[in-house]
Amino acid sequence: MDLKFYQDLVVPAQTKIVMIIMDGLGGLPLEAGGKTELETAFTPNLDALAKHSALGLTVPVGLGTTPGSGPGHLAIFGYDPIQYQIGRGAMEALGVDFDMGPNDVAARGNFCTVNSKGVLLDRRAGRLPTEESNKLAELLRTITIDGAEFFIEPVKEHRFAFVMRGSGLGDDLTETDPLTNGVPPLPVRALNQNSLRSAELANQFVWQAGKLLANKQPANMILLRGFARFPVIPMYQQLFGLNPAAIALNGMYRGVARMVGMTVLDVDGNTLADEFATLEKHWGQFDFFYIHVKKTDTCGENGDFEGKVRVIEEVDALIPRLMALNPDVVIVGGDHSSPSLLKAHSWHPVPVLVYSPFVRADGVAEFGERVCEHGSLGLVPATHIMPIAMANALRITKYGA
Amino acid sequence: MDLKFYQDLVVPAQTKIVMIIMDGLGGLPLEAGGKTELETAFTPNLDALAKHSALGLTVPVGLGTTPGSGPGHLAIFGYDPIQYQIGRGAMEALGVDFDMGPNDVAARGNFCTVNSKGVLLDRRAGRLPTEESNKLAELLRTITIDGAEFFIEPVKEHRFAFVMRGSGLGDDLTETDPLTNGVPPLPVRALNQNSLRSAELANQFVWQAGKLLANKQPANMILLRGFARFPVIPMYQQLFGLNPAAIALNGMYRGVARMVGMTVLDVDGNTLADEFATLEKHWGQFDFFYIHVKKTDTCGENGDFEGKVRVIEEVDALIPRLMALNPDVVIVGGDHSSPSLLKAHSWHPVPVLVYSPFVRADGVAEFGERVCEHGSLGLVPATHIMPIAMANALRITKYGA
């Protein structure tokens, strides 16, 4: 989709769109000829919704391409996931709910162990316990360098997110991690003129970190890799004229939502029901809601077919609460497939339904991979779902006279 | 598909992919409401394979575009057939199994007849018998010019393939064939600086050929057209990380396969069964096999509906020998359609099945145009088939975090 082309057709309206993303929704049967997780689940409410919906299968990146969560979400949000890439450092910062801005350069950080000559002995400092990392992160936060702010956010074990904030900082930088022990960490080098200042700041930070950590055991140094700014991406407000909100329990999804302009709502609790309660609470304030369901993917990646079935059934049981709010358009889909059979993300297209009074409904009271294959949306690039939803929300005007 | 994008996702694996291409597979019913050749054929083995496969229709170049064999093959091999073009001269050289290299410029050659003033009397020298052409080709092979090698390979009747080999030879050249009798052949002109040397060599060759043939009847001159180098194309080894082999009886298909990096295997015999015996013999040595079936197209072009049905049935009978090898992924498809009704290549999308334990099988025990129309692969660009096969062979890693 050409976003600029589309943006020019957007008109205001009072309608509301809800997008429910079950992470890794698409699946496979465990045995040839069997049913997928979604086909197995008892989903009377989704089935009833499907009957009045257009069904299809979304392709997040391309046929035969397995998407990570970042590209999978950008695609269903309407953005070409090859044109708009989220670097590894930025993903790490999103994962800990760090509010990245346009002046930030993020990196993945590791605590590591070096010998007295600065040679790497252990790139992960023995997978340092998270509590110790937290203390060391506090120490690193005391580092100050003129002209930039630094943020250190512990992730897990030896890992942390590192962010430099300052004006005009480029991200075309080499990494300090040599990816092997027995050699010293590398200096950060700028790969272009715009990143010279970033390289200098990063190197100063690493040098100071080394001094601060010198007497610690086993973590006496840090490594930085995957330097990345946020992609410059059109916001939902400008692109679709929407006032959007996100309901998600995990940092990364909250982060990607924030990246496209969504207000990330606080969820009081950590269940699916709590997420739907958040939707009810804020229903009057926004006209687009993204609700993220994490556990479908977790179960898929764990090879837990039955668990994934149960999570889908849990979502199904909450659908009446959504429909009681009388939304104009409802999208139920996924960011990618995660079949329990493969215990991983996969390349398979993802079931999707688009409900509205104005879709050409398929009239099939079932939501599953096979009925979606034969649905009226066909095999559709995920990026087309938002335009279809916007049209059904009567938020798009005619193209040409 | 952006090949560079895809190449970066390829990971090693031990899996094997087999691609069976029935040339001109797609067909049409002879009468409205009837069955196509593929639908008519009794294919119990392909039907059984189809039941556990994803079905679809491939579009080689574009809807409404009839592909030649070159573009049809490049597309199903994964290459954009508009970006990568094989010039006419190169196709002629491939057709006689000539092993073209990066320093070669090929052209289509004709023996022709001129009068004493050099004016063309017959552009085809009365469609000279092939045996006479062979003798004249021997004569032309005696021509030597400093700084290049020349190759003359007879094709059929008055036609031959002409190849100049030398470093830095461009192919932006005009043709000597004026496309009409009553005028003299044209000189070769270079259309850019890089092709000046090629033009000079070609003109010298034509001049010497004219002297050698001066007293022959009726073929006393030659015409050259369609000068072309090979396209620079990413090899299967680098692009897909595959060690690929080709099994084909006809020069052109062997040539296109060689062009993308396939090892062209010798077939002991000239039947379909001999081709499958070659597959069995070399099964342990390669991880990708392309098997070409020529006669489906020959029958289609001859308007021989029944003959095409029988060839498809012959392929079907050999499928158990393939499946006994336990391949991980099997593709059965075509390079283009050749309906007997039209006695020619056509623009119709081509039936395809992709078998693997990880496809979302359509569960339909039938292989034919109409079931493929409703298959889960949909109407798919032929270039997407290899990425889908690679994904199912678990040879692709996740895109993005």
Q: Tell me the mean pLDDT in the region A274-295.
A: 98
Q: What is the pLDDT of residue A278?
A: 98
B3-84+233-392: which CATH topology? Answer: Alkaline Phosphatase, subunit A (3.40.720)
Average pLDDT over residues B228-248: 95
DSSP for residue A346: B
pLDDT surpassing 80 at residue A1: no
In this structure, how many other beta carbons lie within 10 angstroms of the beta carbon of residue B344? 14
**What one-letter code names the amino acid at B32?**
A
The more confidently predicted of residues A302 and A97 is A302
| Mean pLDDT value across chain A | 96
Cβ contacts below 8 Å, chain A against chain B, sum to 85
Angle of helix B69-76 relative to helix B251-259, nearest 10 degrees, comes to 40
Q: Which residues in chain A are contacts of B9 at CB distance < 8 A? A: 65-66
- Partners of B380 on chain A (C-beta within 8 Å) are 63, 379
Q: Which of B358, B363, B400 sits opposite A71 (nearest CB)?
A: B400
Averaged pLDDT, B323-341: 98
**Residue B1's pLDDT is what?**
65
- Is the model's pLDDT at A102 over the cut of 90? no
Question: What pLDDT is recorded for position B95?
Answer: 85
Task: Look at residue B110 in the predicted model and tell me its pLDDT.
Answer: 95
In chain A, whose CA is at the least distance from the CA of B373?
Answer: A374
Q: Give the separation between CA B391 and CA B395, rounded to whole angstroms.
A: 6
- List chain A residues with CB under 8 Å of B390: 64
Task: Please state, in angstroms and as integers, the Cα–Cα distance from residue A219 to each residue in A93, B10, B366, following that order.
Answer: 21, 35, 62
Phi, psi of B371 (to 5 degrees): -70, -35
Q: What pLDDT is stored for residue B35 in this prediction?
A: 98
Q: How far is A371 from chain B (nearest CA, A)?
A: 10
> In this model, does residue A151 exceed pLDDT 90?
yes
Asked if the Cβ–Cβ distance from B388 to A347 is below 8 Å, we say yes
B378 to chain A, closest Cα gap in Å? 7
What integer pLDDT is reported at residue B252 of this predicted model?
Answer: 87
Q: Do A32 and B357 touch (CB under 8 A)?
A: yes
Q: What values do phi and psi take at A106, rounded to 5?
A: -105, 155
Question: How far does the CA of residue B50 sit from the closest CA of chain A (Å)?
Answer: 12
Query: Is the ipTM above a cut-off of 0.95?
Result: no
Q: How far is A349 from chain B (nearest CA, A)?
A: 10
Q: In whole angstroms, what is the distance from residue A202 CA to residue A222 CA? A: 11
Q: Average pLDDT of B146-164? A: 95
Residue of B nearest to A92 (CA): B401
User: In chain A, what residues touch B399 (CB-CB under 8 Å)?
Assistant: 61, 65-68, 71, 81
Which pLDDT does position B349 carry in this prediction? 98
Taking the CA of residue B387 and the nearest CA in chain A, the distance in Å comes to 5
Give the minimum alpha-carbon distance from B396 to chain A in angstroms, rounded to a whole number.
7
- Residue ranges, CATH 3.40.720.10, chain A: 3-84+233-392
* Model pLDDT, residue A180: 93
- Min Cα distance A81 → chain B (Å) is 9
Q: Which of A67, A339, A370 lies closest to B399 in CB terms?
A: A67
DSSP designation for A343 = T
Q: Which residues of A touch B (CB under 8 A)?
A: 28, 32-33, 36, 57, 61-72, 81-82, 85-86, 88, 91, 339, 341-342, 344-348, 369-370, 373-374, 378-379
Is the Cβ pair A91, B401 closer than 8 Å? yes
Give the number of other CB atoms < 10 A from CB of residue A327.
20
User: Which of B2, B363, B390 lies nearest to residue A64, judging by beta carbons?
Assistant: B390
pLDDT at A230: 86
Report which of B144, B129, B124, B136 is spatially closest to residue B225, judged by C-alpha positions. Answer: B124
pLDDT of A313 strictly over 90: yes
**Mutate which: A25, A347, A377, vs B, most B CBs within 10 A:** A347
Q: Is the pLDDT at B273 greater than 70, yes or no?
A: yes
From A114, A127, A105, A347, select the one nearest A230 (Cα to Cα).
A105
Chain A residues whose CB is inside 8 A of the B387 CB are 62-65
Count CA within 13 A, CB hemisphere, residue A336.
31
For the segment B29-46, what is each residue's pLDDT rounded down to a tens digit?
999 999 999 999 999 999
Q: Where in chain A is the domain with CATH 3.30.70?
A: 90-228
Residue of B240, B360, B384, B395 best to disrupt the A interface, most CBs of A under 10 A: B360
Task: Give the closest of B1, B384, B401 to A68, CB-based.
Answer: B401
pLDDT higher at A32 or A335: A335
Say if residue A189's pLDDT is above 80. yes
Closest among A391, A288, A353 to A17, alpha carbons compared: A288
- Average pLDDT of the residues in B48-54: 97
Q: Which of B9, B360, B387 sits opposite A63 (nearest CB)?
A: B387
CA of A377: which chain B residue's CA is closest?
B378
Q: Which two tokens stand for residue B393?
A: 């062979």
3-state secondary structure of B346: strand
CB contact under 8 A, A32 and B52: yes
User: Contact B391/A64, CB-based, under 8 Å?
Assistant: yes
What average pLDDT score do residues B315-329 get? 98
User: From CA A385, how far away is CA A388, in angstroms rounded?
Assistant: 5
Among A65, A77, A252, the strongest candidate for a mutation testing the B interface, having the largest count of B CBs within 10 A, is A65
Residue B340: pLDDT above 90?
Answer: yes
Confidence class for position B231, pLDDT limits 50, 70, 90: confident
Give pLDDT tens digits for A242-251: 999 999 998 8
What is the predicted pLDDT for the residue at A127?
92
Taking an 8 Å cut-off on Cβ atoms, the answer to whether A347 and B396 are in contact is: yes
| pLDDT tens-digit series, residues B78-130 | 999 999 999 989 988 988 989 888 899 999 999 999 999 999 999 999 999 99
Name the average pLDDT for chain B.
96
State pLDDT tens for residues A354-372.
999 999 999 999 999 999 9
For CA atoms B355, B360, B366, B368, the dihedral sign is negative
Burial of A317 (0-12, 13-18, 19+ CB in 10 A): middle
Q: How far is B31 from chain A (nearest CA, A)?
A: 28
Gap from B383 CA to chain A (nearest CA, Å)? 10
Residue B216 has pLDDT above 90, yes or no: yes
Q: Tell me the chain B residues in contact with residue A301 when contact means C-beta distances shorter than 8 Å.
A: none
Mean predicted confidence (pLDDT) in B287-313: 98
Check B361 against A33: CB less than 8 A apart.
yes
pLDDT grade for A388, boundaries at 50, 70 and 90: very high
Class in CATH terms, B90-228: alpha beta
How confident is the model over B164-186, as a mean pLDDT?
Answer: 96
Better pLDDT: A292 or A97: A292
Best CA proximity match to A29, nearest among B394, B363, B395: B363
Q: Do A64 and B388 touch (CB under 8 A)?
A: yes
**pLDDT value, residue B71:** 96
Residue A103 pLDDT more than 70?
Answer: yes
Using CA coordinates, name the residue in chain A closest to B4.
A82
Please answer yes or no on whether A68 and B396 come within 8 Å at the CB atom. Answer: no
Q: From the CA of A11, how many Å to the nearest CA of chain B? A: 33
Residue B262 has pLDDT above 70, yes or no: yes
Mean pLDDT of B244-264: 93
What is the pTM (predicted TM-score) of this model? 0.90
When pLDDT is cut at 50, 70 and 90, the band that residue A401 belongs to is: confident
Beta-bridge partner residues of A107? A162
Residues of B in contact with A81 (CB under 8 A): 399-400
**Beta carbons within 8 Å of B72's beta carbon, 6+ residues apart:** B60, B61, B81, B334, B335, B336, B345, B382
